Structure 1
Amino acid sequence: MRYRLLLFFVLLIGNLAQAQIVTDSVQHLDEVVLSDAKLKRYSKGYKLSILNDSLLQKNKASFTDLLRFNTNIYFKENGFGMVSSPSFRGTNASQTAVIWNGISINSQLTGQTDFNTINTTNFNSIAIRSGGGSVQYGSGAIGGSIHLNNTLSFKQHFDHTATLSYGSYEAKNISYLSSYSNEKFSVNVGLDYIDSENDYKYLNTEQSNENGAFQNGSINANLGYVLSNKDVLKLYHQTFIGEREFSGTVSSPSLAKYEDQNFRTMLEWSRFGTAIDSKLKIAHLQEHFKYFGNKNTDNFTFGKVNTYLVNYTADIDLLTDLKLKPIVSYNYYEGSGSSFSNPNRKEFSTTALLLYNPNEKWHYGLNIRQDVTSGFESPLLFSFDVAYNVSNFYQLKLNGSKNYRVPTFNDLYWQPGGNLSLVPETSYQLDLGQEFTYKNASLKVNTFYIKTSNLIQWTPNDSGFWSPENIAETQNYGAEATIEITHKIKAHQFSLQGNYTYTVSEDLETDAQLIYVPYHKANINLAYAYKRMSMFIQHLYTGEVYTTPENLSGRFYSVEAYQLTNFGIDFKLFQAKKQQIDLGLKVNNLFNTVYENVAFRPMPDRNFNFQIQYKF
């Protein structure tokens, strides 16, 4: 049956390519600028949040802190700068998809993305899409997806931004951005380097964070060329090279070291025709790590995966108010490592996205996807979403979906412990959202329910080794709220942005809350600007989390709730028509709070960062 569906999708795409349908000229502009145009167009019934470039500047040194202080996502970080993994609506790190210009970059080894290996330099915006997205983005998009977007504008300009910063623990950050374009050619390049001794003191003790130094560099280069009035060619590239010492716990010191190398390159050809708009993507991704148990020796273990991707999409106006987007994709993964041999995987998928807008009040989306993955029986996936504009200031949204995650190379082949009998996780989700907008204020309230079967968990086996099994069924439910208010009084500008999340994430067999999922998380950001001066305050509350499951007697271990406050001030030292110099000072952990994000791994005390930025 599934193979018949695949054949049907392929024939459907072929027939539609012959249809003589006139496309909307407004859509052409969107396609020239955006690499992931389906993110907004086919997410009408989903909660979508955009973090713009001005917000990125306030948390430039840490992608983890950017999302921790400005979104509903909870992060588990093994000490500052160490491995950082998200929990989106109570799901785990491998159930959150990270999308780079429209394609997933989750590790094929671990299934997740370490957010301390991503620098925000040269991303024009970062989007947060709440809810299941496996139909559009494949394996792992269960709790939500995080989208890293580069834009290429073909408006005449030539801009540069150079930034230097220095802070506590000998933290240094140097970055340079350059962007140029005319009507035919567009290019932007970003260079970023971060270095820190990261030797902060453990408050109320005589100890400090030993073996915690890190350094990394990244390059982002994006080019676009208008071949004709129908064809645009774009090239995206990202390189990240990092080295980190892995700090230990309070009672267990460490000499470990970890090296990361990530390379991503994608060529994209967009064609705008009278019959059909199409887009072809060809990409190569490589992830490579080395782990040294003792940094003073040359002994290490390693893992490496090459990903080769071909993706074809089309945008078709079946009717004035009915749009279809067929997608065909082929991925080939090739791995090697010291803890497994040379595994490989082939994936072929066909997807159809349907959008119906009968009038200004109603938006309907219906989507379906079928994968064929070597070694697995992949489920048929679906999703739907509805948006209804009750009034000019009130909108209702509803979405539901079936999602999945296939086992990673580590899950299957790691020796000792890999399990070749694993099956994909499957998940069903329902989300109801309400959005209120009035003048310069907005409020988003969402309730959600997620049920996951065949959850993959690593547990000790009879031989004493840790091994993954499909042993758990979980349910996650809760509520989210996001508020944004801006107000201007003459030259005075005020803004407030806040998020609150209540999450229950429990094992259905034991009814116990899963580890490292707080019931409550909240943040608030206040900003004020007057002429050349601006300042902001960030406040974060993270509730208690369990570090071991509750047993029948109710005994458990936990990390206590904590609150953090950051303060920042910026001043335009010089401003002319084409030049600007900004000075900035940020104080993290303003009140010197003692806190842990992971058990027995204290986080930094009060620390400072000074920044100077030159735009020309």
Structure 2
Amino acid sequence: MRQITLFFLFLLFSSLAWTQTTLDSIQKLDEVVLSDVKLKQYTKGYKLTVLSDSLLRKNKTSLTDVLRFNSNIYFKENGYGMVSSPSFRGTNASQTAVIWNGININSQLNGQVDFNTISTANYDNISIRSGGGSVQYGSGAIGGTIHLSNDLDFKKHFDNRIQLAYGSFDTENISYNGSFGNGTWSANIGAAYVNSKNDYKFLGTDRKNENGAFNNLDLNFNLGYILSKKDVLKIYHQNFRGDREFSSTLLAPSNSKYETQDYRSMIDWTHIGNQFTSSLKAVHLQERFKYFENKTLDNFSEGKTNTFLIKHNYKRQFSKRLSLNVITDFNHITAIGNSFSNPKRNAFSATAILNHRPSEKLQYNLNVRQDVISDFDSPLVFSGDANYQILKWYTIKLNASKNFRIPTFNDLYWNPGGNLDLNPEESYQVDLGHEFSYKKATLKLNTYYIKTSDLIQWRPNSATGYWNPVNVANAKHYGLEAEFGIQITFKKHTFNFVSAYSYTETEDVEKNQRLFYVPLHKANMSLAYNYKSFTAFYQHLYNGEVEIIGNTLDGFDVGNLGVAYTFNTKGKLTYEADFRINNVYNTYYENVALRPMPNRNFTINLILKF
């Protein structure tokens, strides 16, 4: 391990000694607009799905709403607006990494991200990368990664957007987004507020969703400044505050609530030369929570973590076809809370990424990473991916990797129950993809296989009477994914059709049974029609039945229907109004057992752009 780390450091410092020259402005802007350059440059052998800005605005309440109807990911949601956990290719929530402007933001406490605490209104694009990504993005990137990006556009502009919405269950939503650029400076700001009683009826009963109200505020501020022809400074900040009651189930009442505060800040200094690019990031992440068993009382349990991260990315361009990236980072993580006694963690990692394009049709990447972590040993991980364009309309993609997930603070230090003898989860995966494109039609087909060992599970301990995390389970995942999209234009009429389907087989090797809450079949589609200023759209989701403890949860079909019209006025100001009916068939369904989801409901939006 020591020799590997020294080798990486040698590569880094020897590369820094090379000479530097200036890029032209086109190359420079291409580098500085994106905060997560690795996603663009080192994903040729992976399936990448990019969700457009217009799509994010249509599904503005939470990231769960967007991905449920526009990806192959399944979500366990404890009632609408409650805790939402993803299952990516059958893996669990802590095996999906969420990447904020190039930084892994999975919780240091439970290893997950609650997708109902992320508003889509404040991001310029959201991307889904399928397949293992631990080499580039660290712990938890086993099933795939979700990328949240804020773009800084330095071209001269000043754009504003205000959105007002009201819907069923007294749901109110207001958001503002502003973007500015003058050639040297660039800035964007976003604010999104949601408040809802969330008291929908339970279909087939005389009850409604009790203790389910929630409100949250999401603030974003991002700033960029071109210091010189070679240097760009970028600042990113995001703050989320949520106050959420935990709704009751069909069998048990609830009077609890949960308060959340997340802060994320990053400074990025990028130095650009003709043959190299150097980026230095300084990051602070903080997550805080308060849990009230009885919301009417002032008694609560709480926890807080702070992560301080220094990350350096050095890319050396040896030729137009060959480059090497060397990435080093250091994390210092602390926590404090009622259920653990001030744990700390120091982590250093070194990564090397080789990119080679031998011909116009072939490109491949080779990656290796070693972590050195203060509280246990971490495995060496590696990956490789390739992209080959066989025909003008047909490309084949292949990637394979070894991935890992380190035990969280809860796993190690929770009192009572933490286990200091845990090993990291390790995973091997391979993914073969085919992409077909003809004019405005695209088809993606992927098959994959994932084998994971040392899965961490919390199980009851008869000797102590507490639950303990242990390395007990091995799992296998394999399946097929398909995505199809086509756009047809006839005079002023435009039709857009997008669909996705996934077939997912999983197995708990120890118990010889399917994993819980993984649908065998999942499919979604959307159809949009546009004529001049008028748009109509329909979304449909099919979710197959899933295994749960001692039973199965029925599959379901849910559809959403909407219309929109844009009113153009003189000057820059435009208005857009849309009306949406969610769950148009009034379907009863559950994503988690005994927690019904909303009946038929509506939303009205008014959007002003100027």
Aligned residue runs from structure 1 range 503-522, under 5 A: 503-522=504-523
Q: How far does residue 58 in structure 1 lie from its aligned partner after superposition?
A: 1.2
Q: How far does residue 511 in structure 1 lie from its aligned partner after superposition?
A: 2.0
What is the match of residue 435 of structure 1?
Answer: 435
Instruction: Give the structure-2-normalised TM-score.
Output: 0.98
SS of equivalent to 1:38: helix
Matched, 1:583 2:577: yes
Q: How far does residue 515 in structure 1 lie from its aligned partner after superposition?
A: 0.4
**8 A Cα contact 1:317 1:324, kept in partner:** yes
Question: d(CA) in 1 for partners of 2:490 and 2:559?
Answer: 26
Question: d(CA) in 1 for partners of 2:84 and 2:355?
Answer: 36
Question: d(CA) in 2 for partners of 1:166 and 1:67?
Answer: 22
Question: d(CA) in 1 for partners of 2:84 and 2:209?
Answer: 17
Report the residue type matching 1:285 in the other structure: L
Question: d(CA) in 2 for partners of 1:510 and 1:109?
Answer: 28
Aligned residue runs from structure 1 range 213-292, under 5 A: 213-292=213-292
Matched, 1:18 2:17: yes
**1:400-452 deviation digits (Å, cap 9, x = unpaired):** 00000000000111111111111100000000000000000000000000000
Question: d(CA) in 1 for partners of 2:122 and 2:415?
Answer: 39
What is the match of residue 59 of structure 1?
Answer: 59
Matched, 1:615 2:609: yes
**8 A Cα contact 1:347 1:371, kept in partner:** yes
Q: How far does residue 251 in structure 1 lie from its aligned partner after superposition?
A: 1.2
What is the match of residue 547 of structure 1?
Answer: 548
SS of equivalent to 1:247: coil
SS of equivalent to 2:188: strand
Aligned residue runs from structure 1 range 147-186, under 5 A: 147-186=147-186
Q: How far does residue 597 in structure 1 lie from its aligned partner after superposition?
A: 0.8
Q: How far does residue 22 in structure 1 lie from its aligned partner after superposition?
A: 6.4
SS of equivalent to 1:128: strand
Report the residue type matching 1:570 in the other structure: A
Question: d(CA) in 2 for partners of 1:146 and 1:557?
Answer: 31
Q: How far does residue 277 in structure 1 lie from its aligned partner after superposition?
A: 1.2
What is the match of residue 403 of structure 1?
Answer: 403
**1:259-287 deviation digits (Å, cap 9, x = unpaired):** 00000000000111245210000010100
What is the match of residue 8 of structure 2?
Answer: 9
Aligned residue runs from structure 1 range 427-576, under 5 A: 427-462=427-462, 463-548=464-549, 556-576=550-570
Report the residue type matching 1:535 in the other structure: A
**8 A Cα contact 1:22 1:317, kept in partner:** no
SS of equivalent to 2:68: helix
Question: d(CA) in 2 for partners of 1:274 and 1:355?
Answer: 17
**8 A Cα contact 1:526 1:537, kept in partner:** yes
Aligned residue runs from structure 1 range 274-313, under 5 A: 274-313=274-313
Question: d(CA) in 1 for partners of 2:20 and 2:382?
Answer: 26
Report the residue type matching 1:14 in the other structure: F
Which range moves more in the overlay, 231-240 or 573-582? Answer: 573-582
Question: d(CA) in 1 for partners of 2:364 and 2:22?
Answer: 20
**1:175-202 deviation digits (Å, cap 9, x = unpaired):** 1111111011011000110000000000
1:593 to 587, 594, 602: 587
Q: How far does residue 320 in structure 1 lie from its aligned partner after superposition?
A: 2.6
Q: How far does residue 28 in structure 1 lie from its aligned partner after superposition?
A: 2.3
Question: d(CA) in 2 for partners of 1:101 and 1:490?
Answer: 40
SS of equivalent to 1:54: helix
**8 A Cα contact 1:419 1:468, kept in partner:** yes
Matched, 1:603 2:597: yes
Question: d(CA) in 1 for partners of 2:23 and 2:494?
Answer: 38
Report the residue type matching 1:448 in the other structure: Y
**8 A Cα contact 1:68 1:74, kept in partner:** yes
Question: d(CA) in 2 for partners of 1:296 and 1:45?
Answer: 53
SS of equivalent to 2:376: coil
Question: d(CA) in 1 for partners of 2:337 and 2:506?
Answer: 34
Question: d(CA) in 1 for partners of 2:588 and 2:426?
Answer: 39
SS of equivalent to 1:121: helix
Q: How many residues align?
A: 608
Question: d(CA) in 1 for partners of 2:286 and 2:307?
Answer: 6
Q: How far does residue 21 in structure 1 lie from its aligned partner after superposition?
A: 6.8
**8 A Cα contact 2:224 2:232, kept in partner:** yes
Question: d(CA) in 1 for partners of 2:376 and 2:302?
Answer: 26
**1:304-324 deviation digits (Å, cap 9, x = unpaired):** 000000000012112331111
**8 A Cα contact 1:368 1:381, kept in partner:** yes
SS of equivalent to 1:390: strand
**8 A Cα contact 1:21 1:318, kept in partner:** no
Q: How far does residue 23 in structure 1 lie from its aligned partner after superposition?
A: 7.9
**8 A Cα contact 1:238 1:263, kept in partner:** yes
What is the match of residue 123 of structure 1?
Answer: 123
**8 A Cα contact 1:249 1:601, kept in partner:** yes
Which range moves more in the overlay, 507-516 or 144-153? Answer: 507-516
SS of equivalent to 1:69: helix
Question: d(CA) in 2 for partners of 1:117 and 1:399?
Answer: 31
Report the residue type matching 2:515 in the other structure: L
SS of equivalent to 1:319: coil
Report the residue type matching 1:608 in the other structure: F
**8 A Cα contact 1:23 1:317, kept in partner:** no
Q: How far does residue 395 in structure 1 lie from its aligned partner after superposition?
A: 0.2
**8 A Cα contact 1:596 1:603, kept in partner:** yes
SS of equivalent to 1:39: helix
Matched, 1:195 2:195: yes
Question: d(CA) in 2 for partners of 1:61 and 1:470?
Answer: 37
Q: How far does residue 29 in structure 1 lie from its aligned partner after superposition?
A: 2.2
Question: d(CA) in 1 for partners of 2:248 and 2:122?
Answer: 33
Instruction: Give the structure-1-normalised TM-score.
Output: 0.98
- Indicate the RMSD between aligned Cα atoms, in angstroms: 1.0
Taking only the aligned residue pairs, the percentage that are identical comes to 56
After superposition, the Cα gap between the structure-2 partners of 1:480 and 1:235, relative to the gap in structure 1 and judged at 3 Å, is same
**1:176-235 deviation digits (Å, cap 9, x = unpaired):** 111111011011000110000000000010010000000000100000001111111000
Structure 2 residues not aligned, in runs of 5+: none
Question: d(CA) in 2 for partners of 1:456 and 1:167?
Answer: 41
**8 A Cα contact 1:20 1:274, kept in partner:** no
Q: How far does residue 488 in structure 1 lie from its aligned partner after superposition?
A: 0.6
What is the match of residue 552 of structure 1?
Answer: none
**8 A Cα contact 2:23 2:272, kept in partner:** no
**8 A Cα contact 2:122 2:192, kept in partner:** no
**8 A Cα contact 2:124 2:149, kept in partner:** yes
Question: d(CA) in 1 for partners of 2:380 and 2:346?
Answer: 17
**1:545-602 deviation digits (Å, cap 9, x = unpaired):** 1111xxxxxxx31110000000111111334441110001111000100111100001
**8 A Cα contact 1:21 1:316, kept in partner:** no
SS of equivalent to 2:122: coil
Question: d(CA) in 1 for partners of 2:437 and 2:526?
Answer: 19
